[in-house]
Amino acid sequence: MWRYLKRLIIGKPLKTLEEGNQSLSKFKALALLSSDALSSVAYGTEQITAVLLAVSASAMWFQLPVALLVLILLAAITLSYRMIIHAYPGGGGAYMVASTNWGRNLGLVAGGSLLVDYMLTVAVSVTAGTEAITSAIPALQGQTVPISIVIVILVMCLNLRGVRESASFLMVPVYSFVVMISLMIIIGFYNIVTGQVEFSAPLAVGHSFAGMSIVLFLRAFSSGSSSLTGVEAISNAVPNFKDPKPKNAAATLAIMATILGFFFAGITFLSYWYGIRPNGHVTVLAQIGIKTFGHGIFFYLLQLSTAMILAVAANTGFSAFPMLAYNLAKDKFMPHMYMDKGDRLGYSNGIVSLAVGAIILIAIFNGQTDKLIPLYAVGVFVPFTLSQSGMIIHWYRERGRGWIAKSVVNAIGAIISGVLVLILFGLHFTNVWPYLIIMPALIYMFLKINRHYRNVARQLRLVSEQPIQRVNYSGSTVIVLVSNVTRVTAGAIDYARSIGDYVVAMHVSFDTNPNKEHRTAAEFKAEFPDVRYVDIHSSYRSITAPTLRFVDVIAKKAKERNHSTTIIVPQFTPKKGWQNILHNQTSFRLRTVLNTRDDVTISTYYYHLKE
């Protein structure tokens, strides 16, 4: 049943040779990898105006200079990541740049930040999408968390079907959003130019406002910079593009940044001109849509496209997280299972892990987007700072054509990003303090995993400083664990005789029914008179402890005789998999504890039931 359900949800397995068919064109890649960045305009302006309105409506005109600074940062980041794509075409983005130029530890800071950021990408995008849904359908306002979790699961299943299929599906919501936002901005500007919409801002640009301070301006800037999240995703996913991969990836990034800049500038200006004020029931984007389209069909199409892109914006995380996890696993900082490809040639373990992490974050923050965004921004701008400053080192080392100009661009981006990180910690500390706990814990985990892999490699390496000590055994001692005398036991004993010079059967008995234990011993001796049978009594109904003690004694004696020691655990296998839950898992528990013993081989004898 599970196999058929899996095929229905994920699709039939793809051959490894079909991997080339999964590569993305610029048109599909834009849909797959830009949904997060483009969708952030749905809440970026709102974050700025919410900060300014907390002081006074008279401060609302400052959203324009704040937006201008955000656009300057966008330009610097875009140029920087285009350079990264060409310099590091293997993907990995900020992690690869920081690791190569700043060293392992800062590389892990960048990689760990992005891993958490992609989980937050999914959580923020989905909860923001849910808010758009509840803005249009107020009856659903109390169901934010369940709706968000359902959307995460649906997007996860979509990504498990493969990169190409998810890109094809995403083209509808992404390009619908692009069309509707473009239409809204163009019509809005037309209405303003033709005088159909009156100027409604509380104060015109340039009017002095006594309550404005540099701290307030920086707070608004840090909040508005959330619109730049997701820009780095393309640099992480360069291997997913069609050849020439770097050229296509860089072109896609430029297209995405142009659309993002146009949307952010247009929405912010319309918000200012219309005098929009954020409230807890209707989003700023929805209010702009009402002012532009009225309550007609175009408004509902705008809300539908916004909800769809915010819901699927999580897909950027699902595209970039598995690739980053792959690069970390390749460098032995994450479990190697993140390097395994699933049936549809995607990194399924990374996809599932991301979905689980996002669901946990949604539950912890109760689906509230505003509480997630500051931590989300830190996770983005720490890698921005490390990658752009790392590129300065890269250009200084390479010193190719135009390296000074390129370094200046990277320096501008690094300075603004670094300042932004300090602002986020200084002004939003109550929201971002978990970063100071999460990152050290992640880096500690990365280093522990790396140390484990290095230790394993050293111990398994054939060529090393310590010569391999080989043992020439003169015989074999085999222990068969016996619960009662059945066909499984008989088959295990026969197999033990074929490989062992000395065979001993061990049975653990309890106080509950002494007659049954005596009967079992008699049946065994009658069936196998040449095999030594040992009955170990357990007063506390434990099987594992007496078994370990007995194995230790026999293994020690076998070593004295220069024998190898093999333990055979008999186990019958039901015809149908679900029937396993009807039987106890004694054999599994025994194998688990016996695995702790050195110089002992554990073998399972399976007897397959026919009915």
How large is the average pLDDT for residues 11-27? 64
* Stated pTM of the model: 0.71
- The residue assigned the tokens 């946990």 is 360
Ramachandran area for residue 245 (φ above 0: left; ψ -120 to 50: alpha; else beta): alpha
pLDDT at 124: 77
Q: 3-state DSSP call for residue 592?
A: helix
Angle at 573 between CA 567 and CA 576, to 5 degrees: 160
Task: Characterize the bridge pairing of strands 563-573 and 475-481.
Answer: parallel
Q: Give me the percent of the chain exceeding a pLDDT of 90.
A: 18
Q: Report the candidate in 599, 482, 605, 495 with the shortest Cα–Cα distance to residue 552.
A: 599
Q: CA-CA distance, 226 to 374, in Å (whole number)? A: 8
Q: What does the mean pLDDT of the chain come to?
A: 83
Q: Alpha-carbon distance 323 to 316, whole Å?
A: 11
Confirm if 375 and 435 have CB atoms less than 8 A apart: yes
Report for 56-60, 111-115, 378-382, 443-447: range of highest mean pLDDT = 443-447
Top-ranked range on mean pLDDT: pick from 10-14, 410-414, 596-600: 410-414
pLDDT at 583: 67
Q: Per-residue pLDDT tens for 265-290?
A: 999 889 888 888 877 677 888 888 88
In the numeric block, which tokens belong to residue 426?
């200084």
| pLDDT the model gives residue 370 | 64
- Specify the range with the lowest mean pLDDT, choosing from 125-134, 320-329, 518-527: 125-134
pLDDT band at 243 (very low <50, low <70, confident <90, very high): confident
Average pLDDT for 310-324: 79
Instruction: Please give the backbone phi and psi of residue 103, each rounded to the nearest 5 degrees, phi first.
Output: 105, 170
Band of residue 262 on the pLDDT scale cut at 50, 70, 90:
very high
Between 73 and 366, the more confident residue is 73
How do residues 120-176 score in pLDDT, each as one tens digit?
Answer: 878 877 887 777 677 667 777 778 788 888 888 888 888 887 766 666 777 888 899
